[in-house]
Amino acid sequence: MKYEFKLKFVLPSGSPQRDELVERLGEAGCTDALIGVGQTGRIALDFTRTADSARKAVFSAIADVSRAIPKIMLLEASPDLVGLTEVAQIAGVSRQYMRKLMLTPAAAFPAPVHEGSATLWHLAPILAWFRKRGSYDIAQATIDVARVAMQVNLARQVRGLAPLFPRELRTVLAG
């Protein structure tokens, strides 16, 4: 099955120039990715990878990039954090209709992970919500890769946490 996802990385200091990075990535098996190097010190790869599962697709891509550029640091896997516009595009509905769904109490729309001038959600719970409602045609590959991307991002974030206040956190998170 084909899986589409993006991986963003922070380049280690002293990384080779753009042309050499692209060559190394190709040699490491990243020929199924569009490579973006527009931001200094960063690189983004937009993959369309064939694999037995979304997990294998994403993790093999991360391994390929790590092999090509030692000491590179994963910044983000996507699709994961999304706004209403991105969700509307994936679901094939208007942004206004997505907003209506989000605001309808009976709909029990998944809670955002950030509210503010830009409200963000993890994509995987929204796709699961759509699947449960049964009225939206969302490709299984999209659902699978969103789940994997969310888990990769959460694991990356948790890795940096110290085990502070574990009892208090268990109480707060249990609700």
What residue spans define the domains of the chain? 2-78, 81-150
Alpha-carbon gap, residue 161 to 175, rounded angstroms: 21
Q: Is the pLDDT of residue 150 over 70?
A: yes
Alpha-carbon gap, residue 89 to 47, rounded angstroms: 19
* Direct distance between the N- and C-terminal alpha carbons of the chain, in angstroms, rounded to an integer: 38
CATH number of 2-78: 3.30.70.3400
36 strand-pairing partners: 44
Alpha-carbon gap, residue 68 to 74, rounded angstroms: 13
Question: What pLDDT digit, counting tens, does each position of 77-107 carry?
Answer: 999 999 999 999 988 889 999 999 888 887 7
At 142, the pLDDT band (50, 70, 90 cuts) reads very high
Output the pLDDT for position 134: 76
Q: Is the pLDDT of residue 166 over 80?
A: no
pTM value is 0.86
- Could you tell me which residues come within 8 angstroms of residue 165 by beta carbon, excluding any fewer than 6 positions away? none
- Residue of 50, 87, 61, 73 whose CA lies nearest to 6: 61
**E strand or H helix that includes residue 128:** helix 123-133
